[in-house]
Structures are given as structure tokens and as C-alpha cells.
Amino acid sequence: MNYSPHSLANKQSASKLTPLKLIVINFQSVMAKRAALLNIIHDHQPDIIFGCESHLDNSFASSEVFTNGFHVIRKDRSIGGGGVFLAVNDSLVMSEDPLLDVDAELVWVKLQLSKRPPLYLCSYYRPPNSGAQPIVQLNESLSRLYNRNASPNVILAGDFNLPDVEWQDGHGYPLTMSEMNTVFLDVVNEYGLEQCVQESTRQNHMLDLVFA
């Protein structure tokens, strides 16, 4: 299980907001790592958990996995592995946004902040060896959001499985000119997203990323 804690504020008014505490976790089966998850929640007290590779299906109720105090939005795979979720602290006002759903492993939540524009949260997983199509679908989802909101506040996080992209000062540089890398960096640049993770998340690669 790989996880990384972060503290982020709204980009447009960061100096005026209490940062949200968020954790991005690649579980490779959340049920098998439930004890570790509960320890992470106890130690870090996160506001939001972005989870991927949950390996859940409809035979598992969210209450079997998560501690009280979180509202959980899931998108499970119908067959084996994968799966994403967002767990949002009950103290925050949130709603699902099904119009942003596409044929990819992602899930969106709209977070309503007091006296601030809403914050859109997306948990995303691109399986290894899945090519550029999941990124094309992510672009479609972002396009729907940006077409109805001129400058939405977004936090996009998860496991992108792009080891051949190097990240420096929030910007990505392809180490190989594959279609996958090119398409992804075009999406990131199109929507003005900056990458926030500064350390390797697995071996020497940044695979689990946070964009805001």
C-alpha cells in the first residue's frame, strides 16, 4: 500500500483558507489493508481520502471498510481489481456529480466551501498498460466540467502510472515521446493544472500524483 499525505488550499485564495488535509492511497485491496487504513486515519486525521485500486465490488458495503465520520463515493470495477473512491469527512458539505462520469476509473465530488466557490475533487486510476484511452476519457470529463464552469477549482489525484514523465516545479517533462505521455501532458496544460507531489511514490518514480 502506497500513501502520501498532503495539505492543500484553494489556489485562488490560498491565503484566506484553512488548508484541507488529504491523503492519496493506492491500496491494492482496501479490505486487506483495512487495519493500516484505520491507523492512517487516526494518525493524520484527513479531510479527504483519494483511494485507488480498492478491489471492492457490490458485495462490500462501505460501512464494512471505513470508519464512521466519512461519506464514501465509490466506482468499483465489475470484474477484478481496480476501483476508485473518495472518502470525505462528514463535517464537509459535498455532493456527487454524475454528469462528469465517463468510461474510465474516476469518481467526482463537488465540495461546497463556506463563502467560497465549490471545489471539485476527482479520484483517478489509470491501469498499467492501458494506453492513452483512460487519459482521453479523463480529458472528456474535465472538458464537461470546464465547459460549464469558467475557472473551476479542482483537485485531481490518484495513480496515473506514468513513470516516463518527470515532474519539476509542478510541470511535467516526458522522458519518452509516447502517445500516452503526450496526450496526458496536453490535458494537464490545457486546464492549467499543477502537479504537487515532490517525492517519488514508488521506487524512483512519481506514479501517485496530485494536481490542483
pLDDT band at 67 (very low <50, low <70, confident <90, very high): confident
pTM, entire model = 0.92
Q: Do the Cβ atoms of 125 and 25 come closer than 8 Å?
A: no
Coil, strand or helix at 197: coil
What confidence score (pLDDT) does residue 80 get?
77
Question: Residue 27 above 80 pLDDT?
Answer: yes
pLDDT band at 187 (very low <50, low <70, confident <90, very high): very high
Q: Which amino acid is at 101?
A: D
pLDDT, tens digit, 9 for 90 and up, residues 118-175: 999 999 999 999 999 999 999 999 999 999 998 999 999 999 999 999 999 999 999 9
Q: Which of 77, 73, 75 is nearest to 95 (CA)?
A: 73
Q: Do the Cβ atoms of 156 and 122 come closer than 8 Å?
A: yes
d(CA 83, CA 104): 10
